[in-house]
Amino acid sequence: MSTFLDYALGGVGPGTVVALLALALVLTWRSTRIVNFAQVGQAMFTTFIALAIQELTGSWVLALAGAMVAGAVLGLFVQVLVLRPVRRSDTSGAIIATFGVLIVLQSLAAMIWGGDPQSFPTPVSNAGIEVGDRVWPISPYDLLILGTAAVLVVALTLLFTRTGVGLAMRATAFNPEVARLSGVRVGRMLGLGWALAGLVGAVAGVLVAPSATLSPNSYDILLVFAFTAAVVGGLDSLVGAVFFGVMTGVILGLVTGYSDSSSAPVAVLVLLAANLWLKPEGFFGRGKARVV
Amino acid sequence: MTVANLLSRISMSRLVVHAPAFIVLWLLLSRLNVALDPLYSYYLALVAMYATAMLGMVILVGLSGQVSLGNGALMAVGGYVFALTSLNWQTVPFFGWPWNGTWSMVFAAIGGLIVGLIIGLLGARLQGPYLAGLTLGIAVGVPAIANRFPDVLGGSQGFKLTVPYPEGGYASEPAQSETTGVSDEAALDEALGLAPGDDGGGSASAVPEPSVDSGDLLTLDDVQGGASAVPEPSVDSGDLLTLDDVQGGASAVPEPSVPPVPSEVAGIPGATDAGASTLDAATGTGLVLEQWQASLAVAVACIAGFVALNLVRGRQGQMWRAVRDDPVAAALVGIAPGATKVSAFVVSSVFAALAGAVFAQILTYVGPGAFGIGLSLSLLVGVILGGRSSLVGAVIGAVLIVGLPEVVSGLAGDRGWPDQVANNVPNLAYGLLLVLVVLAAPGGIVGTAREWWARRRGRPTPS
């Protein structure tokens, strides 16, 4: 039983990162009905920026802040420069364009920082905490991840429920035409949605960097995990994304513990396939996933 | 004469016109292949292989409007089925036919059909992003699947193939390019080790380590376990579209986009000694390995092109387009939208699997590194650049995917750019072009040319 608990708890930290990335995917989906397949590319790129800041100043907090700013700017740029001009009639165009952005970001990162995997320092210890007379699979760093994620989620919730901007964003997501008629600057709201998503993704990128080596395409698999979590959660639901993000991490922890880590991506694929087969609209979603 | 009669007559005439056209095309390309330097035959083989897969992508992405990142993974299905079924072909006759590459190609196509049907049923009826995400997961997960079942699939090392050389002979080496002269077959056989998976260690066996490991959140160390002889990926680039960089230098695996491909095996003892044996003395068909590979790839591509053209110009093509443009209207005239979308997925999977089987024979290797996400992305890039709703666009896309890296690396070499930059210029160009084409010219090269031509002649644009 205690091994089960260890494996499951060990997945919480990584799961929180998956949850944040899933959250970023959901934010872009809600604002523009586009799944941003470049999301992890953006997170990778901003994490490289964070690493540069970290090496320059030695401050992890500054690095995180820099990544957040860079992530927001990058998200806004991608939305305004790439996605906004895509022709409405071209239904596949947006998906293809996000892959174009992914390729550009990965090759740029490889040009600037090289392809060798780089390690990212942790601000606090990444060793398991000893409580009672046993070592738990939760480290101070995991607690930091959880805390940061919690702050982000609470801030986003407050933004969406307690502020005028949040209301305007929700109105835009619900029905852009009606929102525009009510005086909401829809274009700005879409850009803001992508900027927020970029910021959340950037935080996830920095948080995961110490446990995954950082290289131009080392985050690819994270996109699959995050996409799975977002889809199982309903692709429309912030709560669903966070909940199933953490759950995905726990499942990965269990699968890795009882089998080995090569099973983890396979398990996630099975989860995604089963979900698309049995309940394609997800658990917290309201939209219709199956169109024909 | 009834309408149905007339229609069947027209479709008959289509077959009658198309078949000789493709036979002529095949003969021309075969003639060209024999006349070419083996290096160019190698490029011809790659172009034909990519074209086969991209014809399927045109049907899927262009005609049926489904963006799939999984066709690289479906090529892996074809490649692995080919490798696994062909490992002992020389002994087993199958239904009276000697067990050779042909049977394995058939099995590869069947494998692609089955896997494509499963993925299509899961994803094709969903909204676009769901299918793209599912197939992306499969494309990224291919290395993981190969690693998960190392006994069956050879793990990250993959399998080396002995290609069915003409006349059933064996020449398992990735043959030589024009620079290193001729290799000694026996020495190479010994050096490469014909048995799959026995190539641990040694510079010749730098099998690419799939990059999927690095993203693995939980325990990075476990994966590496036994495979410590395998070098870490010293990825100098994003490795999105070309394999070159993943393989870090001395690779036994021929790389799809680098000219001196097989000669990189030069680290193998005996590879360069005694330029004696002529290119193909053993086989007696007058073809060197590259030319044989190209003849295979060209034949498969011509068959695929013939099938694709007849499907696209026919009833099925109309159904695909109808469902893409308006599923409700299509349903009203009696077309089942779900089944139609799934059928597009299955057709493109079969094409991808055939291309994968050809790719395996071009590389004489199957492994997760060869069929990574980069392959899927390059298929997408090629089809979009060439023209996503045109079969000719697929061929142009294939030429671009094979040719552009050569041109760019040549330019970069002339300018003296550092490797780190030069290696990534093609990928950067692909990414930028992909975005630009979607924004400015969604029809790609062929679509834009058609539009221009139609405007010049004052006709409405064909869709």
Tens-place pLDDT, residues B183-213: 333 333 333 333 333 333 333 333 333 333 3
One digit per residue, pLDDT tens: chain A, 292 residues? 678 888 888 888 889 999 999 999 998 888 888 889 999 999 999 999 999 999 899 888 999 999 999 999 999 999 988 888 887 777 788 888 999 999 999 999 998 988 888 888 888 877 777 777 777 778 888 889 999 999 998 999 899 888 888 888 888 888 888 888 988 888 888 899 999 999 999 999 999 988 878 888 888 889 999 999 998 888 888 888 899 999 999 998 888 888 877 788 888 888 888 888 888 787 876 666 666 6
Q: How confident is the model at residue B248 (pLDDT cuts 50, 70, 90)?
A: very low
Mean pLDDT on B57-81: 89
Domain count, chain B: 1
Q: What is residue B211's predicted lDDT score, i.e. its pLDDT?
A: 36
Other C-beta atoms within 10 Å of B299: how many? 15
B337 touching A (Cβ < 8 Å): yes
CA-only gyration radius of chain A, Å = 19
Write down the mean pLDDT value for chain B: 71
In which domain, by residue range, is B62 found?
A: 24-373
From A23, A224, A39, A245, select the one nearest B211 (Cα to Cα). A224
Of A216, A204, A198, A265, nearest in space to A21 by CA: A204
Q: Where are the alpha helices (DSSP H) in B175-264?
A: 185-192, 220-224
Residues 259-278 of A with CB under 8 A from B: 260-266, 268-269, 272-273, 276-277
pTM: 0.79
**Residue A90, in any domain of the structure:** yes
On whether residue B78 sits in a domain, the answer given is yes
pLDDT over 60 (residue B72)? yes
A226 belongs to a structural domain: yes
Interface test with B, best of A80, A81, A82, A221 (most B CBs within 10 A): A221
On the question of pLDDT at B83 being above 60, the answer is yes
Host H or E run for residue B366? strand B365-366
Q: Which residues pair with A118 in a beta bridge?
A: A214
Which residues, in sequence order, are CB contacts of A93 under 8 Å at separation 6+? A86, A87, B438, B439, B442
**pLDDT given for residue A280 in this prediction:** 79
Separation in Å, CA of B163 to nearest CA in chain A? 30
Domains held by chain A: number: 1
Residue A160 lies in a domain: yes
Judged against a pLDDT cut of 50, whether residue B268 lies above it is answered with: no
Checking A132-137 for CB contacts under 8 A at 24+ apart, the result is: A134/A2, A136/A6, A136/A9, A137/A6, A137/A7, A137/A9, A137/A10
Of A246 and B172, the structure prediction assigns the larger pLDDT to: A246
Average confidence (pLDDT) over B212-241: 35
At A223, which CATH number?
A: 1.10.3470
Specify the range with the lowest mean pLDDT, choosing from A102-106, B89-93, B152-156. B89-93
Q: Report pLDDT for B2.
A: 63
Q: Is residue B56 part of a domain?
A: yes
- In terms of average pLDDT, the best of A260-274, B162-176, B214-228 is A260-274
Q: Give the percent of chain B with pLDDT over 70.
A: 65
B134–A14 CB contact, under 8 Å: no
DSSP for B29-58, please give it.
HHHHHHHS-HHHHHHHHHHHHHHHHHHHHI
Residue of A225, A262, A279 to mutate, interface with B, max B Cβ within 10 Å: A262
Q: What is the pLDDT of residues B421-445, one digit of tens each?
A: 888 888 888 899 999 998 888 888 8
Q: Is this prediction's ipTM beyond 0.95?
A: no
Give the DSSP letter string of B123-146: HTTB-HHHHHHHHHHHHHHHHHHH
* Phi, psi values for residue B159, rounded to 5°: -120, 145
Residue B455 lies in a domain: no
Note down the domain range covering A114.
2-120+136-278
Residue B31 clears pLDDT 60, i.e. is over it:
yes
Residue B65: left (phi > 0), alpha (psi -120 to 50), or beta? left
Instruction: Tell me the average pLDDT across B308-323.
Output: 88
